[in-house]
Chain A
Amino acid sequence: MEQILSFISTHREMIYFIILAVFVGVEVIGHVPSVLHTPLMSGANAIHGVVVVGAIIVMLDTDASNYVSLTLGTVAVILGTLNVVGGFVVTDRMLDMFKKK
């Protein structure tokens, strides 16, 4: 119990942050017309590619002689980048079709 309380106390800013971010997320996309559901999903898809930042951090923090970590890290960077770049490019392509008129 005390452990939980101290966990909450040490991370309280983080917890505030998370709760507010949840509301922002709901609020921001709450009024998206269904016409744009696919681009929205694919744009959101690209944004969660931000996980690639984590992959880069792991790479930077790892020991340069730890080849297992370096390999896994590189694969993670490739996959994360694929998610980011692919997501944004395809969303752009879709939205380009909506732009006229």
Chain B
Amino acid sequence: MTQYILEIAYLIASITFIIGLKMMSNPKKARQGNLIAAAGMTIAIIGTIFLYSKEGLTSRDNIKMILIFAGIATGTIIGWLTAKKVQMTKMPELVSMFNGMGGACAALIGLMEFHHSVGQTSTMITVLAGMIIGSVSFSGSIIAYLKLNGAMAKPIRLPKYNIINTIVMFALFAFAAYVVVSGTDSSTMLYLLFAAALFYGILFVIPIGGADMPVVISLLNSFTGLAAAFGGFLYDNKVMLTGGILVGSAGTLLTIVMCKAMNRSLFSVIFGSFGGTTAAADGAEVAGSIKDISTTDVAVLMNYSKRVVIVPGYGLAVAQAQHIIHELELLLEERGVEVKYAIHPVAGRMPGHMNVLLAESNVDYGKMVEMDEINSEFEQTDVVLVVGANDVVNPAAKTDPSSPIYGMPILDVEKAKHIIVNKRSMSAGYAGIENLLFYDPKTSMFFGDAKKALTALVAELKTM
């Protein structure tokens, strides 16, 4: 009887996951969708605690129940507080951290189930697959977290990196296959395999640079989904299967979307980094000179424009300038200037990073325009203000076949009448290449920290 009720609880939970995710594609219903999925999750968890049973094995001793509830309480308190307190600019870090926790959970389940599965080949494959993928996702997410956090800012590339990485990956597979085939029940072997998987996760993410993070985060997200799905297969548990596979396939799709936005294959993001090709690009001819512009001139230019497009990039997040940019937008609109934001799909460090930042400062999402749509409007734009973005506006992606970013779809800002680029210094972007846009006769450089520069600009505008 209880078993049937639990099955129904799982069915309900699975449906809420699907409906919840579906509703997230609509800005108006998204919040409700999230809550529905959360309710389903609660049903699945509570149902499992009280109704799950496997003959002969399951018992609800006090100590177990106490530990389960203590674990849930601890996780809830830490998760809740972290989620409530974190700054919106730290969102990519937080998502990868939570993702890593899920991966670690899957890995631990694998560690515990190992000894129950010795001798059963298919069960063992499931257990080890869940453990390995969970471990890779965990250590990979931690490295991603450290990179996003700035603790490990530069991509680290060992010589012959690709070869080492490939060898380690195959060695990991071979090791896992050996453990399955040999039917060993040695804990030493298990923990060695666990360590090897963790090591591979580190190796996997360590050479990948900051601008490729949107791809990595969404890929690791789908890894954890896959690990959860293996758990579902192991326990013949439908809710784990649905949840895991939904996230796995959704995450893979999002990863592909991100790769397309950079015109790079997933393979080249993981294996080939920009490092190898930059040398060739250094020789590219840079004609023309840089001209800078004063705050007053920027203010005058914007004040007398009809259409202004703001292009935000990662620099906006770093400088925490999302609020002041919204103030600028409101001020300009008051004066009859039409203001829009041009959002490149890979601007920032996670998919949709810029949208979240701007939403935090109350920018209407209708004003955030996607690349394909805004590109046709640049010709009628009087002023483009580029804030902390670089490679996504580099015309070299269209004109210079030797450039490492050649072929990447970019925002065609160079078609606008005036381009103002706010940047801290002349240093090159992530790809380490010169931005031809800065040398364009229509471009003026507005140097300074985004927040300070924009604050000064707003103050100047108010006096006009």
Contact = CB atoms under 8 A, between A and B. Distances in A.
Contacts of B18: 24, 28
A66 to B, nearest CB: 9
A90 B244 CA distance: 20
A70 to B, nearest CB: 6
A58 to B, nearest CB: 5
Interface string A1-39: 001000100000010011001111110111111111111
A82 to B, nearest CB: 4
Q: Which among B27, B79, B94, B217 has the highest number of chain A CB atoms within 10 Å?
A: B79
B242 A53 contact: no
Contacts of A74: 67-68, 70-71
Contacts of B364: 101
Given A17-B241, A25-B245, A51-B244, A44 B350 contact: no
B98 A62 contact: no
B234 A54 contact: yes
Contacts of A52: 45, 75, 105
Contacts of B370: 33-34
A14 to B, nearest CB: 7
Contacts of B464: none
A35 B355 CA distance: 5
B266 interface: no
B225 interface: yes
A44 B76 CA distance: 18
Measured as residues with beta carbon below 8 angstroms from the partner, the interface class of chain A is: 35 or more
Nearest to B13: A50
A48 B31 contact: no
A60 B79 contact: no
Contacts of A83: 75, 79, 98-99, 101-102, 105
B238 interface: yes
Contact of B80 (A29, A51, A86): A86
B158 interface: no
A24 B22 CA distance: 10
A34 B241 contact: no
Chain B's interface size range is 35 or more
B11 to A, nearest CB: 12
Nearest to A86: B79
A73 B102 contact: no
A37 B256 CA distance: 13
B31 A95 contact: yes
A52 B59 CA distance: 18
A55 B236 CA distance: 14
B37 A47 contact: yes
B228 A54 contact: yes
B58 A61 contact: yes
Contacts of B210: none
A82 B91 CA distance: 16
Contacts of B25: 28-29, 31-33, 36, 40
Interface string B366-397: 10101000000000000000000000000000
Given A30-B253, A81-B75, A48 B228 contact: yes
A47 B54 CA distance: 25
A79 B109 CA distance: 11
Nearest to B353: A38
A52 B13 CA distance: 14
Contacts of A56: 45, 48-49, 52, 68
Given A36-B25, A52-B45, A87 B241 contact: no
B44 A55 contact: no
A25 B249 contact: yes
A25 B250 contact: yes
Given A26-B253, A90-B94, A98-B27, A43 B218 contact: no
Interface of B: 13, 17-18, 20-22, 24-25, 27-28, 30-31, 33-35, 37-38, 41, 44-45, 48-49, 52-54, 57-61, 63-64, 67-68, 70-72, 74-76, 78-80, 82-84, 86, 88, 91, 94-95, 98-99, 101-102, 104-106, 108-109, 111-113, 121-122, 134, 217-218, 221, 224-225, 227-229, 231-251, 253-254, 343, 345, 350-353, 355-356, 359-360, 362, 364-366, 368, 370
Given A54-B234, A101-B365, 7 more contacts: A21-B249, A42-B95, A44-B251, A47-B20, A50-B244, A86-B98, A94-B356
10 contacts: A28-B18, A48-B102, A48-B248, A49-B105, A62-B112, A76-B105, A84-B41, A86-B101, A88-B37, A92-B31
Q: Which 3 A-B pairs have the closest CB atoms?
A: A81-B75, A37-B352, A25-B249
